[in-house]
């Protein structure tokens, strides 16, 4: 059975289960295994890690530091064969299969994210396009593909997400009052409300406003906007999210102010005083970004404002990785693509009359949001298992949450609030707003 067959786990009793991908066998994996191990050992010497092998051997550039992050290789041969066949997708699959582990997974991944170029020697970078897989056609974010991609992630089950999100069921970066000392779980719900309120303020949402939300989540932003006196039309591609959000709207007595629709952004009509979208643009896909931004302009009423929350990566890394299929895209977010701020500015200029008026960075706020989610997810392991999600699936999600935390902790990733309006209203004057 090929690794591809595990890209979309089969549904069993309403919950996804995923089997460990089989260890690749064949000429490429057999020949590549010693090369991968040699490269991995060489890279380890340049990284502040301690890598423990069976039998008591150690690799790494921090062998004299017992406090350094520790990666434990349980089955080096299987680990190396996966990477020989599948590259960094194999690295993630090896964790899913239990072939390596880490007592502090985010710390190990932060080291790797901070110096990702050290993992593969520079002379081998030229072979990257030949060795790394390209995006599968089936996950392109066409109108039908986007619906399948959303279902793969967001339709796991509402109970699953409730197991690690706070009571607001907000699945995006929070905005904490302060980052030192480190925020705790008790700070999270208020931080999510603070983030939502800042976005609604940015978009000018108030009594009588008409609001379009692209990406409902589980309804918290729509509810909060309606309580300001706005009328909200919210779009999602997740049937599970739509069902739960509608229940929350009805329970709040706000059905006259909020509609939750199962609708692709491409098909929305009307014009709105405010358009708000939180971490949805990452699902649009590179090829469809011009059309998405043009849609934002098309639905914005004269004098209106758009508030976006966007996960970004540096432009140079985007250019290097844009066509590469990653473990996150394979198992977590099919069709996902993280833009750079440079790319967004270029596309806005080339395809719309919109400009960016304000920018706010929340990268390290996301680091702490993800840390709290991972802690909660790990503590809820028995409950998650009772929902039908087996240990391999849980390892996959722990890796995803830790990998994401590491991206923001190492500054490999950022998340920003961007406010857009017509350029002739002075939007070309980019102003950084302190959080």
Query: Tens digit of pLDDT for each residue in 300-352?
Result: 999 999 999 999 999 998 887 787 888 999 999 999 999 999 999 999 999 99
pTM attached to this predicted model: 0.90
- 2 exposed, middle or buried (CB, 10 Å; 0-12, 13-18, 19+)? exposed
When the pLDDT of each residue in the chain is averaged and rounded to a whole number, the result is: 89
CA 83 to chain centroid, in Å, comes to 23
- 211 exposed, middle or buried (CB, 10 Å; 0-12, 13-18, 19+)? buried
Find, among 309, 353, 305, the residue nearest to 209 by Cα.
305
Find, among 381, 217, 402, 238, the residue nearest to 327 by Cα.
402
> Which secondary structure element, helix H or strand E, spans residue 414, and what is its range?
strand 414-422
Question: In 127-140, which positions are buried (b, 16+ CB within 10 angstroms) versus exposed (e)?
Answer: eeeeebbebeeebb
How would you list the strands of the sheet with 431-432, edge to edge? 258-262, 231-236, 210-214, 272-278, 300-312, 414-422, 354-361, 431-432
CA dist 425 and 122 (Å) reads 46
Tokens 């350029």, residue located = 423
What is the DSSP secondary structure assignment for residue 347, as one 8-state letter? H
Tell me the per-residue pLDDT of 14-68, one tens digit each, with 9 for 90 and over: 345 577 777 766 655 665 778 888 888 888 899 999 999 999 999 999 999 999 9
Both tokens assigned to 285:
């896909």
- CATH 3.40.50.280 holds for 141-432: no
Both tokens assigned to 125:
């970078």
SS3 193: helix
* 295 or 423: which leads in pLDDT: 295
Q: Residue 181: is the preceding peptide bond cis (ω within 30°)?
A: yes
The CA-based dihedral angle spanning residues 344, 118, 400, 23, taken in that order and rounded to the nearest 10 degrees: 130
SS3 69: coil
What is the DSSP secondary structure assignment for residue 223, as one 8-state letter? H
CA dist 125 and 5 (Å) reads 29
pLDDT for residue 164 is more than 60: yes
Looking at residue 392, what is its pLDDT? 96
Q: What angle do the packed helices 220-227 and 185-202 form, to 10 degrees? A: 60
How would you list the strands of the sheet with 100-101, edge to edge? 58-59, 50-52, 70-73, 100-101
**How many residues does this entry show for the chain?**
435
pLDDT for residue 411 is more than 80: yes
Domains of the chain, residue spans: 3-133, 141-432
CA dist 430 and 46 (Å) reads 39
Both tokens assigned to 176:
């904490």
Contacts of 56 (CB under 8 A, 6+ apart): none
What is the DSSP secondary structure assignment for residue 83, as one 8-state letter? H
Tell me the per-residue pLDDT of 356-397, one tens digit each, with 9 for 90 and over: 999 999 999 999 999 999 999 999 999 999 999 999 999 999
């Amino acid at each position: 059975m090929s690794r591809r067959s595990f890209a979309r786990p089969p549904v069993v009793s309403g919950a996804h289960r995923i089997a460990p991908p089989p260890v690749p066998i064949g000429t490429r994996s057999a020949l590549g295994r010693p090369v991968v191990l040699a490269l991995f050992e060489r890279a380890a010497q340049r990284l502040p890690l301690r890598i423990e092998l069976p039998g008591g051997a150690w690799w790494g550039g921090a062998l004299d530091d017992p406090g350094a992050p520790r990666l434990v290789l349980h089955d080096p041969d299987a680990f190396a064969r996966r990477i020989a066949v599948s590259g960094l997708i194999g690295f993630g699959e090896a964790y899913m299969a239990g072939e390596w582990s880490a007592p502090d997974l985010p710390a190990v991944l932060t080291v790797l994210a901070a110096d990702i170029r050290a993992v593969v020697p520079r002379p081998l970078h030229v072979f990257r396009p030949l060795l790394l897989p390209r995006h599968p056609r089936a996950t392109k974010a066409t109108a039908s593909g986007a619906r399948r991609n959303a279902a793969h992630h967001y339709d796991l089950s509402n109970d699953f997400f409730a197991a690690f999100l706070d009571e607001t069921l907000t699945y995006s970066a929070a905005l904490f009052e302060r980052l030192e000392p480190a925020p705790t779980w008790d700070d999270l719900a208020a931080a999510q409300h603070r983030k939502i309120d800042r976005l609604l303020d940015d978009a000018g949402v108030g009594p009588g406003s008409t609001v379009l939300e692209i990406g409902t989540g589980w309804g918290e932003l729509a509810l909060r906007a309606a309580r300001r006196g706005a009328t909200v039309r919210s779009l999602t591609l997740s049937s599970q999210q739509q069902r739960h959000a509608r229940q929350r709207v009805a329970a709040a007595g706000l059905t006259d102010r909020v509609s939750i629709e199962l609708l692709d952004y491409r098909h929305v009509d009307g014009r709105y005083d405010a358009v708000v979208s939180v971490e949805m643009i990452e699902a649009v896909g590179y090829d469809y970004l011009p059309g998405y931004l043009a849609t934002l302009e098309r639905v914005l009423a004269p004098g209106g404002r758009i508030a976006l929350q966007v996960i970004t990566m540096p432009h140079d890394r985007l250019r290097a990785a844009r066509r590469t299929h990653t473990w996150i895209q394979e198992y977590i977010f099919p069709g996902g693509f993280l833009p750079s701020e440079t790319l967004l500015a270029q596309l806005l200029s080339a395809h719309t009359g919109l400009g960016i008026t304000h920018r706010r960075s929340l990268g390290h706020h996301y680091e702490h949001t993800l840390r709290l989610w991972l802690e909660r997810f790990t503590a809820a392991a028995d409950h998650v298992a009772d929902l039908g999600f087996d240990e391999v699936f849980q390892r996959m999600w722990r890796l995803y949450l830790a990998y994401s935390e590491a991206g923001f902790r190492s500054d490999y990733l950022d998340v920003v609030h961007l406010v857009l309006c017509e350029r002739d209203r002075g939007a070309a004057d980019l102003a950084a707003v302190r959080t």
